[in-house]
């Protein structure tokens, strides 16, 4: 028990989450993986939420953040790709974090970085915050849907008798990485264009509706 420390606990807990999923992630399961009693674990970790926090930090530390390029669009894309990579590598951890509403020391700085990149886009403060919030939710939702689709039991072939387009959609060969990049870059460019009302020299788009109607 003397060599039980936070790093060892985090590594064991991450392995439990990866192998057994969120429903089987318990203090007892992690204690068993470490070869100790649950009470021994509680000497180092206050509760399950704190254990989830350790796991979240371990996942973040696994993969360094991408270095800045100086181009706000490219930096947003690289950060989105980083978020997808860590979520795809450890899908159970993202679900545990949401379930336990965990905020760790590394998470708010990343959130701040995301909004700082949108501030660099030339949007005013309110629009930069709007763009940052909506793109973050959309991208994280896309990543989650990708994972759910991978785990989904697809309809039987007979179910597509009257849905030829759906059949093609389910059967087509895909490049998930390329499709993710297409969506993220289109989302970033489209929201920035919509909020500025311009298309970089081409015909201007109608301006976004007044802020009071955006929340309706």
pLDDT classification of 210: cutoffs 50, 70, 90: low
CA distances (Å), origin 188, targets 74, 127, 132? 10, 13, 9
Give me the pLDDT at residue 150, please.
81
The rounded mean pLDDT for the chain is 89
HSE, side-chain direction, 13 A CA sphere, residue 137 = 5
Give me the pLDDT at residue 209, please.
57
CB 47 within 8 A of CB 17: no
- Percentage with pLDDT > 70 across the chain: 90
Q: Which domains does the chain carry?
A: 67-214 (1.10.357.10)
Give me the pLDDT at residue 203, please.
45
pTM (two decimals): 0.83
pLDDT digits (tens, 9 = 90+) for 131-185: 999 999 999 999 999 888 888 888 888 888 889 999 888 888 889 999 999 999 9
Give me the pLDDT at residue 134, please.
97
Give me the pLDDT at residue 211, please.
52
Weakest-pLDDT range from 81-90, 180-189, 197-206:
197-206
């Amino acid at each position: 028990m003397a060599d039980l420390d936070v790093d060892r606990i985090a590594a064991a807990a991450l392995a439990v989450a990866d192998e057994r999923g969120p429903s089987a992630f318990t203090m007892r399961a992690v204690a068993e993986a470490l070869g100790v009693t649950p009470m021994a674990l509680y000497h180092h970790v206050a509760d399950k939420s704190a254990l989830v926090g350790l796991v979240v930090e371990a996942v973040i530390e696994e993969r360094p953040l991408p270095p800045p390029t100086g181009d706000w669009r490219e930096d947003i894309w690289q950060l989105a790709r980083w978020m997808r990579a860590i979520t795809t590598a450890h899908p159970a951890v993202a679900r545990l974090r949401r379930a336990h509403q965990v905020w760790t020391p590394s998470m708010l700085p990343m959130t701040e970085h995301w909004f700082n990149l949108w501030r660099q886009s030339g949007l005013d403060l309110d629009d930069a915050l709007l763009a940052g919030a909506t793109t973050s939710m959309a991208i994280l939702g896309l990543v989650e849907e990708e994972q759910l689709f991978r785990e989904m039991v697809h309809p039987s072939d007979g179910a597509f008798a009257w849905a030829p387009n759906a059949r093609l959609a389910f059967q087509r060969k895909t490049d998930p990485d390329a499709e993710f990049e297409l969506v993220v870059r289109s989302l970033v460019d489209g929201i920035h264009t919509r909020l500025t009302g311009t298309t970089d020299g081409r015909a201007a788009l109608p301006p976004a509706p007044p802020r009071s109607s955006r929340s309706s």
